[in-house]
Amino acid sequence: MPHVELRELRRSFGEFEALKGINVSLEAGEFLSLLGPSGCGKTTALRLVAGFDRPTSGQVVVDGKDVSSVPPNRRDMGMVFQAYSLFPNMTAEKNVEYGLRIRKQGRGERRKKVEELLELVGLGHAGKRYPHQLSGGMQQRVALARALAIEPRVLLLDEPLSALDAKVRVQLREEIRRIQTQLGITTIYVTHDQEEALSISDHVAVMYGGRIEQVGTPAEMYGAPATPFVAEFIGTMNRLEATVADSGAVEHGGVRLRVDAAQGRSRGERVLVLVRPEVVEVEAAANGAPDGALAGEVVSHTFLGSVTRIKVAAEAGEVTADVSTARAETLPVGARVTARFPAESARLLSLAQAPAPPAADPDGP
Amino acid sequence: MGTLRLRRPFSLSAWVWLLLGAAYFMIPLLATFLFSIKDKHTGSCCSLSAYGVIVHDHQFWTTIKLSFILSLETIAASLLLFVPTVYWVHLKLPRLRAVVGFLALIPFVVPPIILVVGLLDFYRGSPRWFYGQPYGFLVAAYVILAFPYVYFSLDSGFRAIDVHTLTEASLNLGASWPRTLLSVILPNIRVAALSGAFLTLAIVMGEFTIATLSAFHTFPTYIQYINETQAYPAAAVSLMSFGITWAAMLSILLVGRRPGARQVQIAGTR
């Protein structure tokens, strides 16, 4: 039996449907990320699980019991908020102790637990400080300790790192995962940052327009996106509109490309060829393009450290390729090049499957 | 590590304006004080007899005690009524903020004389323990009079904290609504509540129209009586009322303060 289940969960605000019937389940100790752009319904879903909002229909089931109508203060769910939520009138210790006082735990027991938890989040020395004396990262660590203190049935994290700078964000997300694994606590993590979701989750549920597009392991989400939206949202993806030419090949902008996934598809079917930039091979063009390669001109370089992202303007559209930075120097902007990819590395989606998604907004709530 | 202190350049014009401002407030007080220490027989300086007259008048003590109790009662009633109201409006009914803000302005635009006539008429049939007692009728009127001051103080206090997140964090940890209000919200709007309390105290300690028209003998009516009958003690009692009101405000401030309170409020302000 799953530990937590969201069954056909719907939430409408007047005419607007924020959640259009989502289904997802978590096993005990699992770390699930709800990933999506702003307005996709991920925070709404988390608030329904926390009990801050009631679903229009559907159920939140924990350990087989429907808790949809249980008030938030009786759900035993620890939450870390996006905004800094420490009580400003209490020290870090008192913040962590708050939930334990409500549960009327003995003083000795409370103190021991507070000390343990502050040590766990690496703030054993900062217990006497008030929130305004702590950095943003430290405040979120205390908030995590506070949420864990009540030994919640489920830990809910609502974009807890979004207000922090990049370095602290990476550091803290690793700590969240370490602590979660150590305590074996079932966790739902909401984020719009795909790198964050892929790096710390057991499973990722990508949401878009109030629905779950796909649930899977990070590797599945990256390697086998089920919809154009997931393909676009997780990592960078080349999307080439094409027509199935014959078994194992498609035609894109008048160029015949070998794609293993085209086998078994009917000739003339309109498809979307999905290719990751890291599998695209770019070479300086000698005389025209060889068979199965797209000819074009390098239009931009984006330095990403060990690799450089190159954009090639081909006749039928743009192709993005990640090449080593050293090699990128031999392919300057304006150079005539050819781009190709291994036949087995491309995925195909029927063009009728979904419309092109909008660009994700990384700054959204 | 050494501390870097930035010294602002001396600004003559700033000092001139500061002194002018101080003079505007201090000269009348000084003049009143000088007048109050004149001898009542000779009119020359210096005698504390005017203060003696006041201090030995039992009416002074009776009325000041009454006004002070009325102040505390008004403060308690106002905070009990308005803290949960403003909290709920901020949390659940933010669209009503403009409406409540408008309602809070009404006591400013309705003159006290109109207010008291209306209230006397409205409460005419109410029980004697309420209508015939300052602790009932006058406090009811003073709560209305203090509404704008208390409301706008509390409103600014609530706007300075993230009411939603703090409330949800507290509920999430298992706290009830009353506990959330008392343990999390109230301590973080303490300074705002104290500001409202100060203003209420000052209003009640000086309110004359409603008290007179409803025939209750409070401290301001006593000051008026002395003013009409005795010149030097009138100046003395005015100064004393000034000092006593400030002392009362200071005592509320001290009672309402806790270690770390100043830092706490700054932390809550985002």
Q: Kindly report, residue by residue over B213-234, the tens digit of the pLDDT.
A: 988 999 999 999 998 988 888 9
Which of A50, A103, A133 is facing B174, going by the closest CB pair? A103
Contact A146 B268 (CB under 8 A): no
Distance CA A96, CA B263 (A): 19
**Six token digits for residue B66:** 């009454």
Asked if pLDDT for residue B171 goes beyond 90, the answer is yes
Q: Is B256 near chain A, with CB under 8 Å? A: no
Q: Higher confidence at residue B256 or residue B114?
A: B114
- The answer to whether the CB of A28 falls within 8 A of the CB of A186 is yes
Q: How far is A295 from chain B (nearest CA, A)?
A: 55
- Tens digits of per-residue pLDDT, A171-199? 899 999 999 999 999 999 999 999 999 99
| Beta-carbon contacts of residue A103 (< 8 Å; ≥ 6 apart) | A150, B174
Which of A71, A76, A130 is facing B267, going by the closest CB pair? A130
Which of B165, B174, B263 is facing A130, going by the closest CB pair? B263
Q: What is the pLDDT of chain A when averaged over all its residues?
A: 90
Q: Higher confidence at residue A316 or residue A104?
A: A104
Q: Is B171 near chain A, with CB under 8 Å? A: yes
Q: How far is A82 from chain B (nearest CA, A)?
A: 9
| Beta-carbon contacts of residue A54 (< 8 Å; ≥ 6 apart) | A48, A68, A69
- Tens digits of per-residue pLDDT, A317-328? 899 999 999 999
Cβ contacts of A135 on chain B, cutoff 8 Å: none
pLDDT at B267: 32
Contact B171 A71 (CB under 8 A): yes
| Beta-carbon contacts of residue A290 (< 8 Å; ≥ 6 apart) | A338, A340
SS3 content of chain A, % helix, strand, coil (to 5): 30, 35, 40
Q: What is the DSSP string of A318-336?
A: EEEEEEEHHHHTTS-TT-E
Beta strands in chain A (DSSP E): 4-13, 16-26, 31-35, 57-62, 65-66, 77-80, 154-158, 187-191, 203-208, 211-216, 238-246, 249-252, 255-258, 270-275, 281-284, 294-303, 307-314, 317-324, 336-340, 347-350
pLDDT at B2: 46
For residue A189, CA distances in Å to A4, A22, B166 come to: 13, 16, 20
Q: By percentage, how much of chain B surpasses pLDDT 90?
A: 54
ipTM of the prediction: 0.83
Distance CA A284, CA B135 (A): 94
Q: How far is B165 from chain A (nearest CA, A)?
A: 6
pLDDT band, very low/low/confident/very high, at A291 (cuts 50, 70, 90): confident
Cβ contacts of A84 on chain B, cutoff 8 Å: 162, 165, 270
Contact B188 A78 (CB under 8 A): no
For tokens 């924990």, name the residue.
A62
Residue A41's Cβ-count burial label (10 Å; 0-12, 13-18, 19+) is: buried
- Tens digits of per-residue pLDDT, B120-170? 888 888 888 888 888 999 999 999 999 999 999 999 999 999 999 999 999
Contact B173 A130 (CB under 8 A): no
Phi, psi values for residue B150, rounded to 5°: -70, -45
| Beta-carbon contacts of residue A341 (< 8 Å; ≥ 6 apart) | A275, A279, A280, A281
Q: How far is B191 from chain A (nearest CA, A)?
A: 12
Sheet with A211-216: list strands edge to edge.
Answer: A77-80, A154-158, A187-191, A31-35, A203-208, A211-216
Q: Which of B158, B173, B189, B257 to mutate to test the interface with A (most CBs of A within 10 A)?
A: B173
Could you tell me the pTM of the whole model? 0.81
Which of B169, B176, B263 is facing A81, going by the closest CB pair? B169
